[in-house]
Amino acid sequence: QVTFYSFNQQEYLNLIQSWLTRFGWSADDIAQQERLALQWATQKGNRSGRVAMQFAKHVAGQRLLQQAQG
């Protein structure tokens, strides 16, 4: 079984901020995702770097789909 280091809440949110900043998101847009990011971590069972990356890719992908659909 592969395990991933679990971050505290602030470290986890900082990772998501880093990923979404890399994807071109503004600080305000990122801040609006915090509650959803914490819910995502709870559903996945931890706050690892992997979970943070998966969340960031998920919400970024959703945004791109919405933009493409008009």
6 beta partners: 48
pTM over the 0.85 mark? yes
Spans of all domains in the chain: 9-68
Q: CB-based burial of residue 54 (10 Å sphere; 0-12 exposed, 13-18 middle, 19+ buried)?
A: middle
Task: Go through the chain and tell me how many residues it has.
Answer: 70
> pLDDT digits over 15-64, tens only?
999 999 999 999 999 999 999 999 999 999 999 999 999 999 999 999 99
pLDDT at 5: 79
pLDDT at 70 over 90: no
Contact 34, 59 (CB under 8 A): no
